Structure 1
Amino acid sequence: MTMSLRRRSTSYFRNLTTETTTKQDPKDQNFTQTLNEICTITRSKPRWENTLISQYPSFNFSNPKFFLSYLKHQNNTFLSLRFLHWLTSHCGFKPDQSSCNALFDALVDAGAVKAAKSLLEYPDFVPKNDSLEGYVRLLGENGMVEEVFDVFVSLKKVGFLPSASSFNVCLLACLKVGRTDLVWKLYELMIESGVGVNIDVETVGCLIKAFCAENKVFNGYELLRQVLEKGLCVDNTVFNALINGFCKQKQYDRVSEILHIMIAMKCNPSIYTYQEIINGLLKRRKNDEAFRVFNDLKDRGYFPDRVMYTTVIKGFCDMGLLAEARKLWFEMIQKGLVPNEYTYNVMIYGYCKVRDFAEARKLYDDMCGRGYAENVVSYSTMISGLYLHGKTDEALSLFHEMSRKGIARDLISYNSLIKGLCQEGELAKATNLLNKLLIQGLEPSVSSFTPLIKCLCKVGDTEGAMRLLKDMHDRHLEPIASTHDYMIIGLSKKGDFAQGMEWLLKMLSWKLKPNMQTFEHLIDCLKRENRLDDILIVLDLMFREGYRLEKSRICSLVTKFSKKNFPFPHLCLEELL
């Protein structure tokens, strides 16, 4: 509980003190003594409910004044609620409005939303309007959005109208938990209640964010234009939501327009806003535009932090533009921003990607020399880079080095090596690594199985590949589409054309599109076995998927069909040509 909440809770009890002092007879010393004793017992004894009545057989526990006095003296909302439940179930006590209101307010102020909710179940208890206002805000702040909506509906029935600010708290809560459906329902209640008649910038901001969350960014943009026309302006988080949404849709002209609107409205874009734009541009390989925005923010007097520099460096490294990445690396250092472990790993990966392993290792050693501990991230970065360029032996050496140094090997390390070994044809070593991965207690991913299935199909061991596919299915892992391509090619290589054709039909029934090479390989295998009827079926399926044969294959097939004097009942010669 925050200090402000504690102070407010104390004020409730102070008010109670004044109220009960005037009501309680000061001459009744027995009452005060018994009250103090009961407060001590309920505070200190664990199972007081079983013995309290027998300890005070002549005391009137159902006296409303007694509970208010108890609430004041106990000064503990949760103990008071427990005591109230006991009074109602064992002593025939029926709490009056003042008792319930006092306890309800204290519970709301203490942030005890579930306890306050339980108090609403008492018959005939209707909290004061101010109390209800605080309660619905508390529900929203605790993410209990469905309860919020139910309470708002109930309040509307009894004619209570929460303020726009309370609605806004709850709208934001719905957004946080991804319930945009409730955002629109709450807004509809606002309009029906008359609260949403006048434009509230905070409400509009919530609606724009809801549009963006539903990928209806242009609707949010239109709403923004309406607000701006009335001379109002939303806050940065709303602009950021629109920028992020348009970046996802690759609407970079709109992104630029929103950025200029922010500047024109003197709603200065934050570093986070620029980072969202740069991230979006880099993810879509708009590196020139990203670098222009990055330079623009520096020209406007912003000071990019280490996170921003690392973001742009990573973007350049991902695209293999290491010269640009190096330039920013040294610029960052010159400005006194020391690269952290993540920044080092980004650059190490960049060097590995362009096959400059000497520089990658040099940078890795520099990172360790600066006190950054060798860990799974840095090792995984080096291992991934090495296997990408066929240096599987060096990657394997680093992998074993991790074990010697007591560094736990993660799934990325295992998957990288499994893929590298499969590319080198080291099937036994790759299978052994998968077994070790399972022994270590790691949960394999699709990337753990796919290279092995491909390799097994390549060497004709389709039974082994099927066993791995079954293992994936048992682990609820969905194979990628190319895995089925490997199976079809592997089966047709073995001469198991019936199962290969069956697998192809299954793949199409699952709405997966086979690769062009899968069709071509199957046709070549069928042609060698003179299975001309099956070739026509495969050709028909191939054409339906939008593929066309190469000229050399067309000539070869026409020759094959002509030699056999094969009629074309399902596929005319003109269509093939």
Structure 2
Amino acid sequence: MGLKNKVLKLNSRKALQSSTSTPPLSPIPYPSLPQPPLTSLTPLPTLTLSHHNHHHHHLLHFLNTHLTQPFTPTHLLHFLKSKLHHHPSFTHYDFHIFHWASTIDSFRHDHSTFEWMARTLAITHRFLDLTSLLQFMASNPCPCSDGIFSCSRTEPIFRFSINAYCRVGKLDDAVVAFECMKKLIDGRPSVALYNILIHGFVKCGEHCKALQVYDKMIKDRVKPDVYTFNILISSYCRNKRFGLALELFKEMREKGCSPNVVSFNTLIRGFFRERKFDEGIAMAYEMVELGCEFSRVTCEILVDGLCRDGRDSEACELLIDFSRRGVLPDGYDYYGLMEVLCGKGNAGRALEVVDELWRKGNVPSLIACTTLIEGLRRLGRIDEAFRLTERMLRGSLVPDSVTFNCVLQGLCDVGRTVEANRLRLLASSKGLDSDGMAYGILVSGYTREGKQKDGEVVVDEMLDRGFIPNITTYNRLMDGLANARSSVRHQANVIDLLKDPLGNDQKEVDIEGFKLALSHVDSQMKSLPTTAPVATFNRAHIFPGALTARFSLKRRVLGVLEVLAVIRISSFPVSTTDLNTVTYRETCRCGDALASKAIHSMEPMRILGPGSSTLLPQRPIPPSQTAQSYSVTTATSAVLRHCSWTPACFLAQNVQQ
């Protein structure tokens, strides 16, 4: 009972010394602390003299262990920051412990505990407790204020709290705190405090109240700075009072306050909103004359505003002029301009802008280059897209795989597969590994161009890197390369058949005579034995199939003309039926002499049947068994397509014998 009476007397003495506006403090050092609500941490726990639960004893034990009396503000601050703040169950009782400490006669809070508590309450959005703290601070100032001057940390504490109020829209609480602070500090408040209040009102749309704070600032003889004018100019522009914004800008310069880049950006944006583009551009050049550095935001306002109004050509000239003057900021991304130009089909102009800016050191971004490459591709300007991609890679700008594959496809489509492969190797040296799509594009390009050896190198690299899953895929790729080369030779030889006896090109072909020749071939086929001697050469791998069915009618006609040439030279009847049912996987790499030698030596042949995934074992074919092995037309057509006329004629003559 003696302890209880002593505590009550101390509480009464404190209540008499406190202001009537100050909330009552905690009267006892041993409060019961129930669990806080889940939805809010703001309500202060209820104090009682008799109720002591299990949670209460844990808190008392924790308090007595880490904070022993007597303690100083430094000890309390260490306890709040290092012990209580990180405790999983007691961290929300920091303000209650703060109040409890103030009831001890031997203890008095200073600016360190005030500042930490104010910041903690503001950050955790406990604004009711923050208001209570500021009132307590006003009635119980820091011990540093006991002398002539007030504590120098009082204004920063209130400034942080006022900023927190304005940030959440509690402007009335911010004004009350501001007025309370003015009574505690020496002299006038700083311009930063007025700027915080003005910006808070402007952000909440209270333009008139912002002007009232500005007028009060002038009456208090606080000189506004560039941030004050920028906030008010932006507020005028937002409220569509651009004329007043210009007047304030003039007043700003008259009072000796130099505008910064934010001031100019705000006015340029305001000019563009009023569709006064020439005035906005003139203000940009005024920035250059005053030596005010451009920011990326400045360029974005100018370029985007002009492009939205359809004045993209003027935006291009403006950027080029700024680049030549050396005022274009580093890192400015002119992707938006590239997108607008390419979207309008003006990729050529976009390329000129990129070349000019790049030459002056303003390197475009990766997305800007990607957009430009796609715009050039859509216009069929593959050469420019190729040079831009190569320049990007040499400048360590690595495009994505999709864009890069599109460039490779464009080069291969125009017969520039060799340059496409060189570009692939350059990209690989810069860290862009080719995928299966890139390899497939190159193989298709080499196939169309009839460059078997180059294509085989790419196929072998695909095989080494695991992009060929099985032998069927490998055979398909090699078949394409083989057919491409044989088709090239085939067309070169058959063109001679379309000439007259004097070697001149015939203007037209006698279709009726050609039909009679085909009918003659079919009739002669009836008397042909089912099998005939045949020979082939090393690495000639025959693949039965129906690829010729996919050929055009012209390709079929040329194939029949080859057979007719054999008939005319060797007088041996050959049908076109077998020609239309066989294809070849790989072109023979030897010449006429080696092919003739292969025919004489009966070298073995590897055969891959339809649907088969493995090669049949090689074995020599004796001359006595060759008559029962393969069709004469198959072998003749193979030699004819893969080599030249001489081995085919030689084979046909041997068959006739």
What's the TM-score, normalizing by structure 1?
A: 0.46
**Higher normalized helix content (fraction of residues):** 1
Higher RCO structure, 1 or 2 (CA under 8 Å, sep 6+):
2
The TM-score normalised by the length of structure 2 is 0.41
